[in-house]
Chains A and B, each alone.
Chain A
Amino acid sequence: MSKTPLINLVGPPNSGKTTLFNIFSGKHFKTVNYPGSTVEYSSSDFLDKFNINAKILDSPGLISLNANSPDEEVAIESLFNQPNNGIPDLILVTADASQITRHLLLTKQLIEAGFKVILVLTMIDILNRKNLKVNTSLLSEILGIDVVAVNGRTEEGIDELTVKIKENLSKGKNIPDHNILSTFKDKDYLINTFEKIESISSKVIESVTPDIENANKQLNIQNPILRESTQKPDALTLKIDKYLLHKYFGFIFFLLMMGAIFTSIFWLAAPLMDLVDTLFSSLANYAAESLGNNWFSHLISDGIISGTGAVLIFLPQILILFLILGLLEDTGYLARGATLIDKPLSMIGLNGKSFVPMLSGFACAIPAILSTRTIPNRRERFLTIFIIPLMSCSARLPVYVLIIAYLTPPDKPWLAGFFLSFVYLISIILSVVVAFVINKFNKSLIKTQDDSSFILELPTYKLPKLKVVLRNSYENSKEYILRAGPIILVLSLLIWFLTYMPNHSPEFDKTGMTEEEIILLEKSERISNSYAAKIGIFIEPIMNPLGMDWRVGVSLIAAFAAREVFVSSMALIFKVTDDENIQNSLLTAMRDAKIESNGEPLFTTATSIGLIFFFIFALQCISTIAVSRKETGSWRIPILQLTIFTSTAYLFTFLIVNVLRMIGIN
């Protein structure tokens, strides 16, 4: 019995591989207009409607078969020997038709190495905009392989490609020659190959309006317009770049854009957040009413519904952040952003290519750390990974928003938005400082050194494909819920247990008390004799210098599993069930909270700001630690991150709280 054939998608960065992969597999992997959006291999079966019995494998972009970094080495080697799969049965090599003279290099090398190849010309619509097209049958004849032109956005040409795939698969397997790789390293070989490609492309690129061309041929004009226009970048892109890459305005625009993104998260999300809040609080109330005043009712309404609700309120903000970043990525602007700040970043040991990973770190550190694979230089990559946990990821939003809402008057939402932008700004400045310091100690901390470089293709501007971007944001948010959800649920239950037991039905003299007073007293009796309070005694000495008590301490410890848990844990420990909405009742409870030992208010301006700083620094995310370990190949960096960031968090909070108190802000 033969194995399922393997079809490998290979091609230069941003040439439309993942778009094809998604069409064939029905999956929704990220396709954006930035070279390097795919960093991991993923494989899938074909959708049934294509009737192709094979696996299709998407891969990161590859410029040539001549490795330029250890990662490229691995990528190229795997073409000759896929782990678990051996040599791919067929390679679909993509080439951007509008950049055919640059993108055919890889195709030629794959053919010369003896792979079985189909060339897929993508982005023919962009070439058409220049009034040009590719004569695919002529190209196929010259190269000796099948060539299909495809428009990844309209799926035009997919049927033809399907037929060709089936034909090629039925023809058996080729055995490529690994030894030929060494010849690809030669400078003269490269220059020669480019000359060949140029002569090929001048033959196969034709005008869409053949009449004019024929007339030219008759007049023996060597088609100067044709040559000119293939050599000219997209006219619209050049026009836009006149402004967006303007020497001075370009940078100002860049800064404004970044500012606008982060302030808008707050504005756009507010109405949606109210909606989620109302939903969960009425759910909690309904549960409490229908289940009565007993432990099971408390578990459901306080433990589960309010706990998860307190976190899910922030889902709209997270969704909007993903949406805005996705839209921006798909226009092609982010590559410009990376270029604009390559110089300043290189001065602190980073790279312009650190920009996109850092930016996506504001959504979530995990995909951000994975996307650092596009940074070819190891030192710069490790340093980028090092500081990504300092970017204010969306898991911190719930915490910041809660504390900011506590500190700012509710009738001034602009103040809250301003405050949040300020928190983001601080986190950016701090990460720059940290990168600078770590870079200074680079030899002893990161322990790797090699040549820095920056080569980035600035893609043609495209109108973002809204459907794709919405889909991406939806998938990201879903992933967020699936990852954070179970952790929040389990910890909510755990914290509920710790704060509810063992004194679950406190006995005291209830004479002359209203029902409400009884519930309140029950609650406080229960919690002050709980397991959590007992554990709390050990944390008190650590929390006291910060002006906080064990209740905040327990929430902070719980937040090491995932930062959002802080909010659900606070909601559990402090919340008094009543008919207000979740956030408001939590805020009221925070206002009333007193430190038990001395009766002073727990959440003062000083301690609240202190808490914000704790969250800016502390590395409280198990998944981040795991990904950092995986991507750096050892425990060194994650352990350094954990210890440095968390101890700095404590130290900073201590300093901020006490300095603020000294200058009279309490």
Chain B
Amino acid sequence: MKKASELNFGEKGTIKDIITLNPSYKRIIEIGFTPGQEIELVNTSIFNDPLTFSLRGTLIAIRKNQADCIIIN
């Protein structure tokens, strides 16, 4: 089981599930992180947090601890 926060820079993955690890998990689904979607880690800032993902044709930045909710294949 791998989390989106563990992706490497430029690595892609397909979302398998969103777990309720962080209270904002619902908002994470609502902005489009849903099972079956392919995401790519396109930026890790100099501090390695937040992480920017490419998802559904946009770029979305979320914190590392929020990316922990996103389980990928």
Residues of A within 8 A of B (CB): 63-64, 66, 68, 98-99, 101-102, 105, 185, 187, 190-191, 194-195, 230-234, 237-238, 241, 245, 247-248, 250-251, 335, 339-340, 342-344, 346, 352, 451, 453-458, 460
Find chain B residues with CB under 8 A from A66 CB.
26, 30
Partner of B61, one of A195, A250, A346, A456: A456
CA distance A573 to B55 in the complex (A): 62
B7 at interface (Cβ–Cβ under 8 A)?
A: no
Q: What are 16 A-B contacts with C-beta separation under 8 Å?
A: A64-B30, A68-B26, A102-B31, A187-B26, A195-B34, A247-B43, A250-B43, A250-B46, A335-B61, A339-B50, A342-B49, A343-B49, A455-B60, A455-B61, A457-B58, A458-B52
B29 at interface (Cβ–Cβ under 8 A)?
A: yes
Find chain A residues with CB under 8 A from B18 CB.
187
- Closest Cβ of chain B to A359, distance in Å, is 17
Besides the known contacts A68-B26, A343-B45, 19 further A-B residue pairs in the complex with CB atoms under 8 A apart: A63-B30, A101-B57, A190-B26, A190-B34, A194-B34, A195-B34, A233-B57, A233-B59, A237-B59, A241-B43, A245-B43, A335-B61, A339-B43, A343-B48, A343-B49, A454-B61, A454-B62, A454-B63, A455-B66
CA distance A626 to B41 in the complex (A): 43
Asked whether, in the complex, the Cβ of B52 is within 8 Å of the Cβ of A455, the reply is: no
CA distance A503 to B66 in the complex (A): 71
Asked whether, in the complex, the Cβ of A343 is within 8 Å of the Cβ of B56, the reply is: no
Asked whether, in the complex, the Cβ of A251 is within 8 Å of the Cβ of B46, the reply is: yes
Asked whether, in the complex, the Cβ of A454 is within 8 Å of the Cβ of B59, the reply is: no
Find chain A residues with CB under 8 A from B38 CB.
231
Partner of A191, one of B29, B48, B50: B29
Partner of A455, one of B23, B27, B43, B56: B27
Find chain B residues with CB under 8 A from A248 CB.
46
Asked whether, in the complex, the Cβ of A232 is within 8 Å of the Cβ of B57, the reply is: yes
CA distance A579 to B63 in the complex (A): 61
- Closest Cβ of chain B to A425, distance in Å, is 20
CA distance A105 to B34 in the complex (A): 12
Asked whether, in the complex, the Cβ of B32 is within 8 Å of the Cβ of A101, the reply is: yes
- Closest Cβ of chain A to B58, distance in Å, is 5
Chain B, Cβ-Cβ closest to A246: B43
Find chain A residues with CB under 8 A from B45 CB.
245, 247, 250-251, 339-340, 342-343
CA distance A231 to B56 in the complex (A): 5
- Closest Cβ of chain B to A457, distance in Å, is 5
B73 at interface (Cβ–Cβ under 8 A)?
A: no
Asked whether, in the complex, the Cβ of A458 is within 8 Å of the Cβ of B59, the reply is: yes
CA distance A233 to B60 in the complex (A): 11
B13 at interface (Cβ–Cβ under 8 A)?
A: no
Find chain A residues with CB under 8 A from B52 CB.
245, 339, 458
Find chain B residues with CB under 8 A from A247 CB.
9, 43-46
B8 at interface (Cβ–Cβ under 8 A)?
A: no
- Closest Cβ of chain A to B31, distance in Å, is 6
CA distance A101 to B57 in the complex (A): 9
CA distance A608 to B42 in the complex (A): 49
- Closest Cβ of chain A to B13, distance in Å, is 14
Asked whether, in the complex, the Cβ of A101 is within 8 Å of the Cβ of B56, the reply is: yes
CA distance A230 to B54 in the complex (A): 12
Q: Secondary structure at chain A's binding surface: helix, strand, loop or mixed?
A: helix
Find chain B residues with CB under 8 A from A344 CB.
47
Find chain B residues with CB under 8 A from A234 CB.
57
Chain B, Cβ-Cβ closest to A453: B24
CA distance A572 to B26 in the complex (A): 60
Chain B, Cβ-Cβ closest to A64: B30
Tell me how many residues of B have a C-beta within 8 Å of chain A: 36
- Closest Cβ of chain A to B48, distance in Å, is 8
CA distance A247 to B48 in the complex (A): 9
- Closest Cβ of chain A to B64, distance in Å, is 9
- Closest Cβ of chain A to B38, distance in Å, is 7
Asked whether, in the complex, the Cβ of B23 is within 8 Å of the Cβ of A451, the reply is: yes
Which of B23, B32, B38, B56 counts the most chain A CB atoms within 10 A? B56
Find chain A residues with CB under 8 A from B42 CB.
238, 241, 245
Asked whether, in the complex, the Cβ of B26 is within 8 Å of the Cβ of A191, the reply is: no
CA distance A245 to B9 in the complex (A): 12
Partner of A63, one of B27, B34, B47, B50: B27
6 smallest beta-carbon distances between A and B, as pairs = A343-B47, A458-B59, A102-B32, A245-B43, A339-B61, A194-B34
Find chain B residues with CB under 8 A from A231 CB.
38, 56-57
Asked whether, in the complex, the Cβ of A455 is within 8 Å of the Cβ of B28, the reply is: yes
Known: A250-B46, A339-B61. A457 touches B31 (CB 8 A): yes
- Closest Cβ of chain A to B68, distance in Å, is 12
Asked whether, in the complex, the Cβ of A187 is within 8 Å of the Cβ of B63, the reply is: no
- Closest Cβ of chain B to A126, distance in Å, is 10
CA distance A432 to B16 in the complex (A): 40
CA distance A237 to B60 in the complex (A): 13
Chain A, Cβ-Cβ closest to B38: A231
- Closest Cβ of chain B to A612, distance in Å, is 32
Find chain B residues with CB under 8 A from A63 CB.
27, 30-31
Asked whether, in the complex, the Cβ of B56 is within 8 Å of the Cβ of A99, the reply is: yes
- Closest Cβ of chain B to A335, distance in Å, is 8
CA distance A231 to B57 in the complex (A): 4
CA distance A234 to B28 in the complex (A): 22
Find chain B residues with CB under 8 A from A190 CB.
26, 29-30, 34
- Closest Cβ of chain B to A291, distance in Å, is 62
CA distance A194 to B33 in the complex (A): 10
CA distance A458 to B61 in the complex (A): 7
- Closest Cβ of chain B to A143, distance in Å, is 19
Asked whether, in the complex, the Cβ of A233 is within 8 Å of the Cβ of B58, the reply is: yes
Known: A105-B30, A187-B29, A339-B45. A458 touches B58 (CB 8 A): yes
Asked whether, in the complex, the Cβ of A352 is within 8 Å of the Cβ of B44, the reply is: no
Find chain B residues with CB under 8 A from A342 CB.
45, 49-50, 61, 63
Find chain B residues with CB under 8 A from A187 CB.
18, 26, 29
